[in-house]
């Protein structure tokens, strides 16, 4: 009977110790989960924070491209004559050519004659046509350079968005693993 009581007492002490160990183990698992969740969220925020400048630049560039190429956008229209005439090369070459022609005609005493007017008209038409094409080409090249720059920034933003999306998925998976692992460990306990 004494042995029986000793066994029962030992079983009760062992059971109490197991209960205590279980309670402490569950508390430790929950504490680990409680500290892991904010740590993972913090690392996610840090990672996305590193991507923010690129996301913002990409968003701004995408918005600019959408405005330029959207309905009625500047890049959906051909340049106007006024825009092309503002080209410094167009105005300079036209002015220099007219001055050279006037000098040549003036030195030969033909300024104001019919021949001078005919020469001026011909020069204006030829130079205007040639310089219009040159100004148009420069105008379109400038547009292309702007578009390429904005497209590069938009691509950088898209890359940063992919990184941020990957971080979100990875963090979600890690959080799920923390909760699942904690639940399994508590069940095992």
pLDDT at 188: 87
The tens digit of pLDDT for each residue in 53-86 reads 999 999 999 999 999 999 999 999 888 888 877 7
The tens digit of pLDDT for each residue in 120-170 reads 667 666 766 777 788 888 889 999 999 999 999 999 999 999 999 999 999
What whole-number distance in Å separates Cα of residue 4 and Cα of residue 17?
20
pTM as predicted? 0.64
What whole-number distance in Å separates Cα of residue 119 and Cα of residue 91?
19
- Which of 182, 183, 166, 188 shows the shortest CA–CA distance to 36? 182
Q: What angle do CA 100, 102, 107 make, to 5 degrees?
A: 100
What whole-number distance in Å separates Cα of residue 27 and Cα of residue 110?
107
Whether the per-residue pLDDT at 41 is higher than 90: the answer is yes
Give the alpha-carbon dihedral of 51, 148, 60, 66, to 10 degrees. -130
Q: Left if phi > 0, otherwise alpha if psi is -120 to 50, otherwise beta: which for 115? A: alpha
The tens digit of pLDDT for each residue in 7-19 reads 999 999 999 999 9
In contact, 28 and 35? CB cutoff 8 Å: no
């Amino acid at each position: 009977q004494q042995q029986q009581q000793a066994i029962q007492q030992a079983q009760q002490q062992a059971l109490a110790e197991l209960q205590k160990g279980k309670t402490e183990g569950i508390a430790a698992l929950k504490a680990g989960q409680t500290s892991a969740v904010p740590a993972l969220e913090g690392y996610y925020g840090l990672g996305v924070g590193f991507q923010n400048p690129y996301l913002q630049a990409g968003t701004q560039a995408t918005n600019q491209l959408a405005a330029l190429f959207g309905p009625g956008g500047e890049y959906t229209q051909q340049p106007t004559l006024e825009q092309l005439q503002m080209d410094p090369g167009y105005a300079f070459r036209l002015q220099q050519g007219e001055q050279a022609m006037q000098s040549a005609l003036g030195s030969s005493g033909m300024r104001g004659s019919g021949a001078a007017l005919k020469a001026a008209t011909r020069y204006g038409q030829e130079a205007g046509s040639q310089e219009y094409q040159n100004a148009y080409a420069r105008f379109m090249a400038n547009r292309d350079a702007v578009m390429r720059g904005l497209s590069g920034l938009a691509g950088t933003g898209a890359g940063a968005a992919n990184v941020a999306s990957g971080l979100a998925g990875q963090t979600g998976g890690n959080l799920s693993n923390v909760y699942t692992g904690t639940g399994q460990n508590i069940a095992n306990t």
